[in-house]
Amino acid sequence: MDKILVHGGRSLSGNVRISGSKNSALPILAATLLTKEPCVISRVPDLSDIHYMLTILSELGCDVERASGTVQVRAEKILTDAPYDIVRKMRASVCVLGPLLGREKEATVSLPGGCVIGDRPIDLHLRGFEALGAAVRVQAGNVKVFASELKGSTINLRGKFGSTVLGTDNVMMAAVLAEGTTVIDGAAEEPEVVDLANFLIKMGAKIEGAGTRRIIIEGVPELHGAEHEVIPDRIEAGTFLVAGALAGSGVEIRRVQPAHLQAVIQPLRASGYHVTEKGENVTIAPNGARLPLKLDTQPYPGFPTDMQAQMCALLAFTAGISFVTENVFPQRFMHVAELKRMGADIELEGSSAVIRGAGELSGAPVMASDLRASAALVLAGLQAEGVTEINRVYHIDRGYESIDDKLNGLGAHIERVKV
């Protein structure tokens, strides 16, 4: 197990290239199960979650080859039972349910693991499968779905805290091979859903409306192989924008889609940073005093819950009182206790954090509780006085490709140490 030591006080400058999106790559890789023909996926990030997904595909009988960010999958003959030992490590592994059900009309997957950020049930996924005609059984820690045939239906996937991204992905993948027309109301609008839909369309699926609240799918008898490049990771890009805001004199984020980043760019501008967009690049630089913010997380195109922890770290250094309300995962504030260990003045009031910006924080031993919380602690350490020791960094390796090397390339001083 590794830990990361962040030596604070270094100014960041230069440019950084953003990797492919983890949250796109995982369901796209799962979607290769829908065809017997080879699929080639490029710009696949080198992350532990990706490794787990490729292992699951191999365990299901796929031939998997990986080299330099490109993965080829051939799912000619597949099994329908995903093993617990791998599935338990990653919540996104539940997205193999949809393609297995669509192609083989049955699937058994262990209830997923992943980040500990509150209750994230998969009941909406299962509701969608049932609407397509599948029977669902949950027993002994496993979910089993099966059907003699799948038929198109109208399904509403909006839940208590908004639309479900993985649920939209899962139902869409099952529906592409169902008989007739499926309408998903309350669909997630995230760019990652659009990316999956674009890949499925390349495979021969008939999908309209991806990126809106209503997706219409005309079932087809079979799909074929395809090649696809994964979109840039907007959360990694947003994290580096916050790094540039915290400690940068001018940082350029390269190979991104600025349209996907507006919910992060606009608050940074409102806080007083100079943010410019040019083609596939976004640059952030200081522009006078920082201003406090009031943020509310919302499903896309609102401010993303996956950037909430990072913005909390930034606002801990921002003079004045800021308010951050978590509307997607109300319990997602485990990073607050660790930021307080570094001297941050943050109080939780229900699903909101009240942040009284301090002039400075001090490095301290802290514990990463989940993927985005660990990124927030790294960001806070960039500006804190002294050394911040971050433990359980396997969380950060789930979603950030070489974050320590990339930050060091901008001028940070970060060490990765074996424990």
Token reading at 197: 């839909």
Task: State the pLDDT at residue 129.
Answer: 97
What is the number of alpha carbons within 13 Å of residue 59 lying toward its C-beta?
Answer: 18
Indicate the residue type of 256.
V
Task: State the pLDDT at residue 112.
Answer: 61
Q: Which mean pLDDT values do the consecutive 10-residue runs of the chain (419 residues) have? A: 93 98 97 98 96 94 96 97 78 90 95 48 90 92 93 93 90 98 97 98 98 98 98 98 95 98 98 97 92 97 97 97 94 94 96 91 94 95 97 91 97 94
Q: Could you tell me where the beta strands, DSSP code E, fall in 165-317?
A: 181-185, 206-208, 214-218, 227-229, 248-254, 274-278, 281-285, 294-296
Name which of 82, 111, 78 is nearest 96 in CA terms: 82
Tell me how far apart the alpha carbons of residues 44 and 65 are, in angstroms, rounded to a whole number: 12
Angle of helix 262-270 relative to helix 234-247, nearest 10 degrees, comes to: 20
Task: State the pLDDT at residue 119.
Answer: 46
Task: State the pLDDT at residue 358.
Answer: 78
Is the entire prediction scored with pTM above 0.75? yes
Measure the CA dihedral 26/101/159/329, to 10°.
-30
SS3 273: coil
Active site residue 62: no
DSSP assignments along 44-57, one per residue: ----HHHHHHHHHH
Count the Cβ atoms, other than its own, within 10 Å of residue 133.
Answer: 17
β-pair partners for 136: 145
What the chain holds in terms of domains, given with CATH numbers, is 2-19+232-418 (3.65.10.10), 22-229 (3.65.10.10)
Task: State the pLDDT at residue 120.
Answer: 47
Tell me how far apart the alpha carbons of residues 59 and 139 are, in angstroms, rounded to a whole number: 22
At 99, which helix (H) or strand (E)?
A: helix 97-104
Tell me how far apart the alpha carbons of residues 116 and 333 are, in angstroms, rounded to a whole number: 11
β-pair partners for 144: 108, 137
DSSP assignments along 99-161, one per residue: HHHHHHSEEEEEPP----SS----HHHHHHHHHTT-EEEEETTEEEEE-S--B--EEE-EETT
- Catalytic residue selected from 62, 95, 115, 312: 115
Question: Is 101 within 8 Å of 150 (Cβ atoms)?
Answer: yes
